[in-house]
Structures are given as structure tokens and as C-alpha cells.
Structure 1
Amino acid sequence: MIDEKIQEPQDELSPAPPPLTIKGRMRAAWAHVQCSSLLRRHRFQRRTRRHMDSLGALVCTLPLVGQVGDWLYSLGFSSEYALIRAGRAVRSAALWLAAAFLGAWHSIADIAFPEARVVLREFFGPLYVFCRGVRNIWVHGGQVRRERGFWAGIVADLQYLGRGVVRYMGLLPRMAVYLMPLGALAILLAVVQTMMGSPYTLAVEVNGMTVGCVANEDVFDSAREDVLQRVSYAGTTGETELSIQPTYRLAISSDVLNESEMADAILSAVSDEISEGTALYLDGELTAVCADGDQLQLYLSGLLEPYEDPGDPNVSVSFSREVTLEDGLYFTDSFKDYADIVSLLSGVRQAERVYTVVAGDSISLIATKNNLTTAELCELNNITPDAAIFPGDELIVTREEAMLEVQITRTVSWTEEIPFSTKQTQSSEYAFGTTRTVQEGENGVRTITAQNLYDTDGNLLNQTILSSEITKEPVDREIVVGTRLPSGSVAQVGNGTFIWPVPQYTYCSRWYSSSHKGVDICAPAGTPIYASASGVVSKAGYERAGAGSGYGNSLIINHGNGYSTLYAHCLSLTVSAGQAVSQGQLIGYVGSTGRSSGNHCHFEIRQNGRYLPPQNYFNR
């Protein structure tokens, strides 16, 4: 009654539960199944455990089970004990064998090397005593420090050490066996360190007197050569006759002289007739000595100044020969007046020489007599090798050459077109020999940067290509060549087309003949030369490095189909051996190197080593 009274207000306040849906009923049913399964498993496990316990208690009551257990325990214990005893026996046997081996070894050593034990005791006895004493001092002192303090431990260590020294005083001489080698090693290391850190030099001696030191043998050789040059020059200009044979020896010094200072020191030691001056060297050769070096420097600068352009960084001016001024000591009688040196520099070092033709002479014979090639002789006289000469004719065999010439180096850049190449494909869709243009070609643009060397008259002497940059790639012309014959079969079209290597220049001074295996295409120096066909550069360079003697700067291109082309007498080359080139690619510039009588490009076509007339491939 009380519960009903209490629950009645709650029933009035709590809302009625909502009715279960189908999904809720299915979930409740599944939960009921799971709970029932869990309860069944729990009851089964309890019944199984209870049965197993009852079975175990029943088995333990059987007398046979106790006897089997006792038997298994005895077997395990006996096995374990047997293994332990076997291990002890093995260890005892090993120890016995080791003791027997050591005893036998000691016996053999005593018989074979009776003094070995004594020697070992003499060498290592003091070391053993020392190590044992250090250990004992450390142990004894540590114990005293723990009991009575730090200083008491130090005092105990010193007392223990004193007792050890008194006790083993007899071992001190034997300790010298260790101390003496260690001392000798320390001394050796100190000596080596000192010697390695010393500044070793070469002391130069002349007539038994030391004149100074140089850093190395190269400086000595250079100074000696400089002295010999000064002596030789003085002997040609005066009456100086000296024989100087400087020598050197190894020394330690921190004060060394350079080449020029050593040369001055050597001359000061062998002669009193020397004075300070300035020497003029041309290409490393002593040419003149004067007293006024500043004035000579101003004269040389004055020769270059008219051609200098400070506002143009691409222009530099220099002499045709290496000019060096060096201050130093020189023989007094070898000095020249400033005016004489100026006259020497403004003159010629090799005047023009004329040869008079005699009976029996020929162009090649005259060239041989004067150490010239036939091409050089023909170039000097502007004649051909087959020109007629008669006794009494005069030929120039040496051209006049100035002592000192001014040369102007100018860095220049220019753009040039890159001719497009034609790509040819074959197709059986078209009749044999007919062509169809798939894509029109378009020239590219290349920027060339080079260093040109000019004389004072503006003549180009040499050209060095610095860079070649393509700013616009050429567009190849693509054509299709038909291969279908009227019969329907297909034929292979050969690839043997060539382009003129020097476009826009068609005049040839010489054509192909039995004595001339190519064509000479005339063009100004520096005109571009292009590859006549694609291939690989097999040779490129000067003379033998290129096409051979007489060809100057030259190259050979192998086109891979039995054909090859040759380009000779170039001013410079832009490709090298082993480099792949395409048809129309820049490979060099027209020049007159090698055996050449003027600026031109010597061009040859070969097939399997056989020379072909180039005029057969181009319209004359």
C-alpha cells in the first residue's frame, strides 16, 4: 500500500514511454539472443570446470599415479645431477690440460731458452714492481683519506712511496733501461720539430763568397740566366769578359732575394764596373740598357697612347712583342744613350732582302735556299709556283719587319644568319623523283663574339672566336621525295647533296684539275664558312692536326655515306675533331693560313678516298 502510494505521484509526473518501432523490437530481440548465448556459455564452462576438478581428485586417489610421479621426479633429478657432474668433469679436464700445457711450455722454454726467463725478469720486473707499487699507493692512500682526511692521505702516499724506494733501490739502475730510450726519443722528436720548422733556403756563392739566399732552385736558375744575359749583352757592346759560375748550398735563413735582386748581388760580387740602370727586354731577351728608365717608359707609353681609347672597354693596345723594363745593376760599358734606344725601337729588326735568280734556279729551289716554302716565296712576290723566272730576275726572300709594332685588340660582336637545312624523307606515295614541300625553311640568327687583332693601318692580323650564341633557331625545310616507280616497286634514294660552303661568293681562282684536287673560293678574310653537308668532324686544327701540311687551319668532315669534304686555309675554326655538325652550320672563317697566296677557302669533295670535281656538283 505504501509502494503504491509512493509510485502514484511519479506515474502522474513521468510521461508514458513511446511505443517500440520494428527496428527497436529487432534490436531488443538480438540483445536477448546475445544474453542467452552468453549465459549458456557461462553455465557450460562452470559445469566443465567442476567435472575436471572431480576427475583430477579421482585420479590423485589412485596409487599408480603417485608411483609414476615419484618415478618422473627421480628421473629429472638424476638427469640434472648427471649433467652437472659432466660439466664439472669437463672443466676439471680443461684446467688440467691448460696446467699441463703451461708446465710443458715452461719446461721447453727453460731447456731451449734458459736465459729467456732471466731476460724477461730483468726487462719487465721493474715495470711490474712499479705498476704494483702505484696501485698499492693509490689503495693505501685512498683508505687513509677516507679515514683521516685528504692531507693525511697525501702524507701516507709519500711515506709509502719512500718505503718503496728504499726497499727497491736496487731496481733503479734497471729502470734506466726504460728511461734512457724514452729520453732519447724525446730528444729526437724535439730535434726533428726544430729542423722541420726552420726556414731552409739556398745560399748562393760566387768565388767562394756567399752573396745571398734564394727560396728555391727555380729562383736560382732564373737569376743565373739573367746574369748570363747581362754578361753576354755587355760582351757584345763593350769589352767585358767575365766567367761567372754561381753555386748554391743548403742553408737556414729567413731573408731571401728574388730573381732580379739575386742577379744584382751576383754582379756586385764579381765586378766593380756596374751601375744602376733600366734594362729593356723584348720577348724575354735583353735588348738595351739605359740610365733613364722613366724617360724610356714614357716613350713606350707614348707609342701606345694614340691608339688607346679609355672610354671603350672592348679595345686594348699592346706591342707585337712582350716588352719588359727591369731596374737593376748592369755593366757600365753596356749602357746606351736614350736616343740610340729610340732609334733601335723605331727601326727594323729584319730588312727586306732580294735574291737574284741565276741559271738553273727554280721557284722551289730558291725557296729551299732561303729556308722558305714555295707558297711563302710566291706570297712574298705575288707569283704562282709555275711562274716563269729568268737569270737576273730579282725575288724578295725576306720581308722587312719592324723592331716594335703596335697592335690593337678589339672585341667585336655581330649577328649573322644561319642558313636553314633541308630535311628529306622518302615516301612510296609519290612517283620517283617528285618532291613535295611539307614545311618552308627559315634562316636562324647567330651572335658571334670575337677578338680581332689589327695593325695600326687597320689590317686584320688574327681573329679569335670567343663565343657563338644562337639567338634564333633556324626552321628546317622539310621535303618528301617520292620512291614509287612506274612498275609499282620502291627504290632507295641516295643522299649526296651538298651546299656551297661560302654563300654569296662564287668566284674561284682555281678549279679542280689533275694537279689541284679542289676549288679555291675567293672571299675576304673573316667570311663565314658553312658545312656543305651534315656529318662528324674527323680532323680539325692547324697543319697536321687538320687536313695536313700546307693546309693551315683546316678540317675534314665525314658525312657517313662514303663522302667527305675538306676546308683549308681558314683564318680560324669554330668546331673541333669529334664534333657533330649539321648542313649549313658555321665551321670557320676564310683566311690565308698555311701555303696560301691570298684569302680563300680551299674546298674538296671525296668519295671513298677518291677526289671528285666540285664543279660537277655546283653551277659554275
Structure 2
Amino acid sequence: MKIFQHPKFKDLISKSTSILQNLISKGKSILQNLITKGTCLSQEIKQYPGWKKLSVRCKDISVCQVNFRQMTVLLLLVFFLTSFAFENIQAAQASQAASLEAVQDTAIKAHKVILNEKESGYVCDPISAEIIMDEILQEAALLYSMEIADDNLLRFEETVISREEMSTKKELDEALRKHSRILVNACTIYVDDIPIGTLKTKEEAQQLLDKVKSKYIDPESSLENASFQEDVKIAITPIHFQQIQKLEEVEAELEEEQEVVEEYTLQDGDTFWSISRKYKIKMGDLTNLNPDKDPKKLRKGLVIRLSYPKSLLNVVTRELAKFEDSISYETETQNDNSMYKNESKTIREGQAGKKFVEAYIVKVNGIEREREVIYEEVILEPVNKIVAKGTKKEVTAASIARGYGKFKWPTSGRITSYYGKRRAPTRRASTNHKGIDIANSKGTRIYAAESGKVTAVGRAGGYGKRVVIDHGSRVTTLYAHLSTIKVSKGQSVSRGQLIGYMGNTGNSTGSHLHFEVRISDSPKNPLRYLN
């Protein structure tokens, strides 16, 4: 075995290893060529230049013939072991290639279907999914008889899947229906950017708005314009079909009225009654809104509060109106020194005039809010009212007590009995008459001779039904033999106010009024104090 220690043998082994490494580096291509040609690996090696060089060198080695043969066997053993390793490598690579080919035979390219960010299946061609989606939307359009909103996001991602993962038409249809959003293009009415109702079509929404306007349009008027006070818009809104409202529902919402409070500046001739009629407000409501205002003391420029119904939609109309209007008359006063300062009388009644007017009238919900007069022509001039006012010093209880004031006559009729001594008309009557008797038919009106406070009412012996009024400054008046009393004790009365009716109660011989004037409870001749 010395041959294994020989330097040349070691050199041979080293060179053989190098040859084997070169063979391995050549790799798969050399081995495949060898297999294809069917040539023995040993012959291929013998033809290799390195092998010939190795043989020559081996012949130069001084060894016995037997040892050389042993070396040859060893080399052949190394060769066959190497060949067996290459064959195993080749078999493994062939098996791997076969497996890859089998996988390539079952895996296919596909498109993942994603609807509204939800996986819905796999298709070879995106067009097939788009066709199914179109069918679903067309079916909804036929069902609802409406345009379907383009509100679905359908997208695709390329991928590789097995044939078993590919979606069938039924599976894809079910998945797309499940993940789709079926919204219809409805029409919403917005009032000042607030939605108040959603209807099926724009025509239906416009029909409703026109109906609201028509309530306040007079077909006989010269309408210039009709619009809404608010900003009104109709906008397409994608919603579920079930959210669409009926026309009657939206109309009912629009007819709901809201209570608002506004102010109004009084003009000439305004009264609570005329304002209530103009703004369709109850008199009681108007009075309650203005507790600090006296309806009898209104004046131009006074500001009052108004409350009237205002709708969600308010119709503003502008029309050209031609009409006749009244011209208010004025009241003239004349001084009359024959009457007291608290007395007056009408000398001539006033009469309103007439004029022809052309004007633009602006109304809100049928109520006039503005008027622009563009033409006027007087048809009939007004006739002013003339009133005479007294200039004499007013009658007061103090002036009456001093003897220069005058009472108003308490009733009409003729005097049948004067103040002072007389023949008694009845057995129970006094011969000293404390007042005067004014006769007239039963039921004749009896008035307060002057303002004051009622201190006594009811029956009082021979006076029958009587009323006593205290005028202050210890001056009182008495009204007796009444048939009916119209005032009560403690009530304040004004000069000339009705206090009862003439009668024949008490110690009386016929229908008449017994009238007394007392100062400090002492009877005075009434004729001295009557006007």
C-alpha cells in the first residue's frame, strides 16, 4: 500500500479531485447531455484531456503491476460513487420539475371581485362580474320604477387560484346582491338648507310647491310675481326606496304652522279691531300680547306686538291692484261759551271721501305687508266733522255747593211739583216738598246729573225704589220712585250715565221722578243747580 504514500499518487488524487469539482461545476447541463447521448460516463471521462494526462503520469510511476491495478480499481470506485450521487441529484431534480409542472397544470390566473370593500368571489374576466352587477341594478330599477343611484364601488385585484376556487355565476350573483347598496335617486325639498320632505320624482316635488303657492294666488288679480320667502331647492338624494315619503305626508308637514311674534307700528286710523282683522288675530289674543296698551288710547307711531301663524313655507306675492279707497275726514272744533268745558255737541257729521288707487301690494300668505301706491285720483272729497266744545268752567261738586255750577237734567218730561211748600197730593205726602217731580211715562230713562259714587240703592219708605249719588264736597243727589235700578252700591258713575227707569213705586200718584239736591244733607231747590 506504499503507492498511497507516493508523492505522485497524492498529486494524482489532488488533480482527480480538481477534475471532479470541474465536472460538478458544469452541473446539470453535462449530465443531461450524457443521459441524452446514452454514452458511458467512464468513456466521456477517458476522452477528457485531464484523464489522458493522468494516465501518462500513472505509467511513469515505478510500482508493481499489481499495485497499479489496485489504484485503478480505487479510482473506478470513486467514479461510480460520484456517478451514483449525480444520478440521485438528477432524479430529485426531475421529481421537483414534475411536481412544479403538476402545480402549474392546476393553478390559474384570476380576478378577485371586491364590492364596497367586501370580497365577493373570483372570476376569469371582470366583465362577467360587471354584467351580473348591471343585471341586479336593472332589476331594482324595474322593481321601483326609478333611476338607481350609482353608489356601488366595484373593483378587481389580479391573483392566482386553483380551479376549485373559481366562483360560479350563482355564487357570484348571491354575493353581489348581499354586498350591494340599492339606492334610488329621489328628490328632497330643502327650505333654508333644511330637508323637509323626500318624494319620488322632481315633478312630484315641484307639483307640491306649486300647490302651496296656488293657495295664495288670486286668479282675478294682476299677479306680478309669486315666490317663497325662504330659500327653496329640490335636490337629487340617493336613499333607500322605503325612505321615500308620500305626497300627502310632506304636504301635511308644510301646512303645520309655527307661532311667531312680530312688532307693528300703528298708522292713522288703526284700531285693535282693524289690526286683528288685517292679521287674522283674535281680539283677546292681541290684547293679551299688549297688556300695557289701552285699546282706547292708540296713536300713530305706537309699537304693538303681533302674533300670527307662520308656515314652514311662506308665499310672497306681488300684484298690481286697482281699487277704490276711502279718504278719512278730519274733525274741526268750534268753541261754544254756552256749554261747560266738559260738554260738547256735533254740529255736522263727517263724511269719508273716495279715491281711485293703483298700487303694488306685497302679501305674505295672503296677508298684506307692503303697499306701494303708484297712482291716486280723488273721486269724492271728504266732508269734515264739526264739533262744538264748551268753554264755560266745568261743573264740580264744589261749584255746585257755591251756587254757580250746573247739573245735567236727570230725565225728560214736565215738572208737576216744585220745591217748597205745596198742597199734599196724598194723605201721606209732605206739604214741604224737598225736591221736584218730573212726570213722564213709565220706563223713561233716568241719568246721573253729575259724576260720583253710588252710596245707596233700593227701597226707602215713601221714596220707593231710589238711588243716591255722592258727588263729593258734601253734595248728593237723590232719584226716587224708580221702576228699575241699573246701578249698584259703591259703583262709580259718570255724568249722563243711565242709572234706572222712571216708575211709580213708593208714595206716588203716577209715573214720575222725584229728584233732590242736598248739600251737607240739607235739601236745596234743584232748579237752582240744573243747567
The structure with the largest alpha-carbon Rg is 2
Please report the TM-score for the alignment, with normalisation by the length of structure 1.
0.19
Please report the TM-score for the alignment, with normalisation by the length of structure 2.
0.22
Which structure shows the bigger proportion of residues in helix conformation? 1
Which structure shows the bigger proportion of residues in strand conformation? 2
Larger RCO, structure (CA 8 Å, separation 6 or more): 2
